[in-house]
Amino acid sequence: MSNLDILRNWYDRVWVDGDLESVDTFFTPDTEAQGMMEFAMGPDDFKAVAAAVHETIEVVKISFDRVVEADNWVWAQMSAHAQARLVDKDVVVAGQVMCRFDNGKIVEAYNQFDFLSFFEQLGLLPEHTLALCLAGETLG
């Protein structure tokens, strides 16, 4: 199985199927995922954050829009297609991940997802939040 196959399997099992215990199958105990929160997350932190996301949305599909593989690294630009649980609407979140693999496991992960758009789509932030902030508006 290629590292790209492992990454696709990770997203299918953890994000689409919601199998949070499988995080341990894909991560080593020392794996750190960065970019999802303000701190690097280990496997247990990742399970907690993923559980919170699953309370908000049901991920229907992950699309890998662009992929680059180099040695033991995989970079993917992707889209998560989901159904919001709080409101009856479809949500699409764009993002990128770069992972380093060792012996079939993710040992480093760097994430960047458009959480601003995600929370706008859920109605938790006003539309055009970025433009409002750039114009000097204060939220709340």
Provide the percentage of residues in the chain whose pLDDT is more than 90: 89
Architecture per CATH, 3-134: Roll (3.10)
Q: Which two tokens stand for residue 83?
A: 């159904």
Which of 57, 54, 28, 63 is closest to 42 using CA atoms? Answer: 28
Low-confidence spans in the chain with pLDDT less than 50? none
| Whole-number Cα distances in Å, 87 to 29, 70, 84, 123 | 36, 40, 6, 8
So what's the pLDDT on residue 140?
75
So what's the pLDDT on residue 87?
84
Model confidence pLDDT, tens digit, residues 8-43: 999 999 999 999 999 999 999 999 999 888 888 999
Find the distance separating the first CA and the last CA of the chain, reported in whole Å.
49
